[in-house]
A and B are shown apart, each in its own frame.
Chain A
Amino acid sequence: MVRIDERNAAVEPRPARPPRRRHTQRVPVALLLPAVAGLAFLVLPLAGLVVRAPWATLWQRLTEPGALTALRLSLQTATVATLVCLALGVPLAWLLARVEFPGRRVVRALVTVPLVLPPVVGGVALLLVFGRKGLLGTWLDAAVGVTLPFTTTGVVVAEAFVAMPFLVIAVEGALRGADTRFEEAAATLGAGRWTTFTHVTLPLIAPGIAAGGVLCWARALGEFGATITFAGNYPGITQTMPLAVYQTMEGGDLSGAVVLSLILLIVSVTILAALRDKWITSG
């Protein structure tokens, strides 16, 4: 980057930048107060978790088999659901962004429905389709012998259903922002549409895909409503962390719920921060 700066300077001497002036304008109180209140509103509950955590017995509770099982299941299902979303969602986003077809607006609206649908309703809808007596579930059960509800696969299905719109919207935005003339240049060099997609389009929108994938994974990790409706709450099979927190709380063990919440919080923040450093900013 230094080289480029030097070249520009040689061509056209850049005027010395005026010293950056800070704090010359006061932040209006009418903006500052709600901003601080908003920040407090977002941070205080997390602080509450940290303050109320039973630090004395934390380690013992952390290593309780139930907690670790739920954590592992959460991470596994969220990751698999994200992979499913990438495999299906990126092509869907490409279709929406690059191919003119009748009813494209309707399809785009349909893709975003799971965003506004209450997750519990999504779970009920999934049961109606993939349940044992559902539209496709009957066939799946009879022909392939696959049953989705109340299985770990069902958890993945529920999470993918809720999280995929986040990925599709992010990737479609990246595709629309990408310069399609690079794809034309690839065509003049002999690349067909598929090769152009894999060799030019995908690398160009990689940061957008990474951002969409992270959003998608975070949403899948926090999924509760659709999961408990469609997959149930069986420890070791379908009980992910959010479900475990809910059950512990219902059982009257507040400090147990706090510990589980804290684990989920720390793990997800750590992973997101690591991904952000590696993918989002460098892209």
Chain B
Amino acid sequence: MTATRPEPATGPVLDAHLAVDRGTFRLDVRLRIGAGEVVALLGPNGAGKTTALRALAGLQPLTAGHVTLAGRDLDRSDGRLRTPTERRPIGVVFQDYLLFPHLTALDNVAFGPRRHGVDRRTAHRTAAEWLHRVGLAEQARRKPRQLSGGQAQRVALARALALDPVLLLLDEPLAALDAGTRLDTRAELHRHLAAHPGATLLVTHDPLDALVLADRLVIIEHGRVVQEGDAASITAQPRTDYVARLVGLNLYRGTADGHSVRMGSGFALTAADRVHGDAFVAFPPSAVALHPHRPDGSPRNTWPATITGLQRHGDNLRVQLAGPIGVAADITPAAAAHLHLTTGQQVWVAVKAAETRAYPADTRPTT
């Protein structure tokens, strides 16, 4: 496990094209990750995230494509090369950790070094160092069933990192933890991932995990990459309903002509940006105001709508509205009390053009 890492200038550590056919489901994803970079693979359930992770680890054969790690081909469908899982310099933290129940925390972490020919004493010393690093020196002699969820997660991380992997894979690393533990463990995990010199791919369906832990997000739906970029660009300009919901924006697609974007139904929104052709329009629920009557004055985007749902959202009230376009609005409790909001009520929706962003839809996500 002493594969030499290339200098960052020589290109990405991981260069993969994962194509997997499984009956009706087809995964087709290209991934490139640099040294020290943390990439989150984010997507709804069934999008193919775990399949992609298993394909990288060699636990799921590729139908086509390739996996190249640190300049070395691990999988090549054309040349029929397939490196078995145990010979890949890849560490995996599984969703429910899969710590070996018959081994102590120390022996779990020492398992990898031992399999790579390290003698028992050295392996135990390495393992003890790693347990110390994740703050579990005291728990070294415990069996997995005597560890809390957060502790087990850290042992699993130490076990994967003890081999100094060129690529670290994490499958929903925080999903099995309760809310309180998750906060601490997420911060802890962030520290260790930042210190990891190799490439890291984090699979998650939790946007918060992705935004906190990753340098770059790759969002997949139905086995395809739908959007890719850093947190700021994705939260500012979502390209699918799923991403818009993740980042909490109202998102529409239409044909732009200057500041006006016209939907298929003929309904038009006015945006702050000038765009032409196929375009997205997005605005946050907080930019939506509700009025009992048609408002006078500045807002350009106003239309009548019917309330279809009300629910708490943080300190505010999230109001779902049906009309020419479906929209979500965040209303303060005071405003809600003033309007006497109820489901089925008719109201007027107003969205400030200044808070409405428009951007072209036809640029392909950069790969």
In the complex, B1 has a CB within 8 A of chain A: yes
Given A182-B98, A189-B112, A190-B86, also A11-B178 (CB < 8 A): yes
Do A191 and B178 touch (CB < 8 A)? no
Question: Do B85 and A184 touch across chains, with their CB atoms under 8 A apart?
Answer: yes
Q: Hey, what's the 0/1 contact readout for B173-202 against A, CB within 8 Å counting as 1?
A: 000001010000000000000000000000
Q: Residue A7 at the B interface, CB < 8 A?
A: yes
Binary B-proximity of A1-38 (CB < 8 A = 1, otherwise 0): 10110010001000000000000000000000000000
Specify the chain B residue showing the minimal Cβ separation from A188.
B92
B residues 1-33 with Cβ under 8 Å of A? 1
CB-defined interface of A170-192 with B at 8 Å, one 1/0 digit per residue?
00000000010110111111111
* A190 B112 Cβ-Cβ under 8 A: yes
- B115 nearest CB across to chain A (Å): 4
A270 within 8 A of B: no
Q: Give how many B residues have a beta carbon under 8 Å from the other chain's beta carbons.
A: 29
Bound Cα distance A195, B115 (Å)? 8
B86 and A191 contacting across the interface, CB-CB below 8 Å: yes
Cα distance, A96 to B91, chains bound together (Å): 30
Evaluate contact between A188 and B145: CB separation under 8 angstroms.
no
In whole angstroms, how far apart are the Cα atoms of A92 and B204 in the complex?
40
CB-CB < 8 A to A181: which residues of B? 94, 98
Asked if B367 is at the interface (CB within 8 A of a chain A CB), the reply is: no
Question: Known interface pairs A4-B145, A4-B146, A11-B180. Does A190 touch B98 (Cβ–Cβ under 8 Å)?
Answer: no
CB contacts under 8 Å to B, within A52-67, are: none
Chain A residue contacts of B116, Cβ below 8 A = 190
Contact of B59 among A1, A184, A191 (CB under 8 A): A184
- Collect the chain B residues with CB atoms within 8 Å of residue A125's CB: none
In the complex, the answer to whether A185 meets B92 with C-beta atoms within 8 Å is yes
Q: Number of A interface residues, CB 8 Å? A: 23
Is there a chain B Cβ closer than 8 Å to A204's Cβ? yes
Confirm or deny: B102 has a beta carbon within 8 angstroms of a beta carbon on chain A: yes
Does A263 make an interface contact (CB < 8 A)?
no
- In the complex, whether B271 has a CB less than 8 A from a CB of chain A is no
B window 105-134: CB within 8 A of A: 111-112, 115-116
Q: Tell whether A118 is near chain B: CB-to-CB under 8 Å.
A: no
Query: A187 is contacted by which of B84, B102, B145, B178 (Cβ under 8 Å)?
Result: B84
A200–B146 Cα distance when bound, in Å, is: 19
Residues of A within 8 A of B115 (CB): 186, 189-191, 195
Q: Is A187 a contact of B86 with CB atoms below 8 Å?
A: yes
Contacts of B163 in A (CB 8 A): 189-190
1/0 per position for B78-113, CB-CB distance to A under 8 A? Answer: 000000111110111010001011100000000110
Mark interface residues in B133-164 (1 if CB within 8 Å of A CB, else 0).
00000000000011010000000000110010
Task: Name the 10 nearest CB pairs between A and B, nearest first.
Answer: A190-B115, A189-B112, A187-B85, A185-B98, A203-B102, A188-B92, A191-B115, A187-B86, A190-B86, A190-B116
Which positions in A face B, CB cutoff 8 Å?
A: 1, 3-4, 7, 11, 179, 181-182, 184-192, 195, 199-200, 203-204, 206
Q: List 18 A-B contacts (CB under 8 A).
A: A4-B145, A7-B148, A11-B178, A181-B94, A181-B98, A182-B98, A184-B57, A185-B100, A187-B58, A188-B88, A188-B91, A188-B92, A189-B115, A189-B163, A190-B86, A190-B116, A192-B86, A203-B102
